[in-house]
């Protein structure tokens, strides 16, 4: 039981490049989330998927898109990376929207 897995662990991009962060969970959870963590700001929700087939914007969605590929997988795409998107990105999942969230190990992204 791996929990929540994320790939890649580290990534360096140049401004304007695109990339997709992958997330998968093996706990049969309904809800999945993408957060970014910046120093002094805690975690901020980018997008979430309350259940398979649905996605919704979180607090800071600009510059990102998501896909809930199936119940297990939830990807985050940066279409045209900007230095302001340098951050650590965490994926999380929970059985229901108000339940305990379980976090992946994170992706440290640097945009030059």
Partner 1 sequence: AQSVSQHNHHVILSEAASLELGCNYSYGGTVNLFWYVQYPGQHLQLLLKYFSGDPLVKGIKGFEAEFIKSKFSFNLRKPSVQWSDTAEYFCAVTPFSLAYGGATNKLIFGTGTLLAVQP
Does the protein bind partner 1 through residue 58 (CB under 8 A)? yes
Residues 73-102 that bind partner 1 (CB under 8 A): 90, 92, 97-102
Kindly tell me which residue out of 25, 29, 32, 48 binds partner 1, with binding defined by CB under 8 A. Answer: 48
> Are the C-beta atoms of residues 26 and 1 closer than 8 Å to each other?
yes
Which SS3 state, helix, strand or coil, does residue 99 take? coil
Given candidates 7, 72, 86, 103, which one binds partner 1 under the rule CB under 8 A? 103
Question: Is 43 near partner 1 (CB under 8 A)?
Answer: yes
- According to the binding rule CB under 8 A, does residue 59 interact with partner 1? yes
Closest CB 98 distance from partner 1, rounded Å? 5
Please identify which residue in 1, 2, 40, 62 interacts with partner 1, judged by CB under 8 A: 40
Q: Across the strands, what pairs with 3?
A: none
Residues that bind partner 1 in the complex, under the rule CB under 8 A = 33, 40-45, 48, 56-59, 90, 92, 97-106
């Amino acid at each position: 039981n791996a929990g929540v897995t994320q790939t890649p662990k580290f990534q360096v991009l140049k401004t304007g490049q695109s990339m997709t962060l992958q997330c998968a969970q093996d706990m049969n959870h309904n809800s999945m989330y993408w957060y970014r963590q910046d120093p002094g700001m805690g975690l901020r929700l980018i997008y979430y998927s309350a259940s398979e087939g649905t996605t919704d914007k979180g607090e800071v969605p600009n510059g990102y898109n998501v896909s809930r590929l199936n119940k297990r997988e939830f990807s985050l795409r940066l279409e045209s990376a900007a230095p302001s998107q340098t951050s650590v990105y965490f994926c999380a999942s929970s059985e229901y929207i108000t339940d305990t969230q379980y976090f992946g190990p994170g992706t440290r992204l640097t945009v030059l």
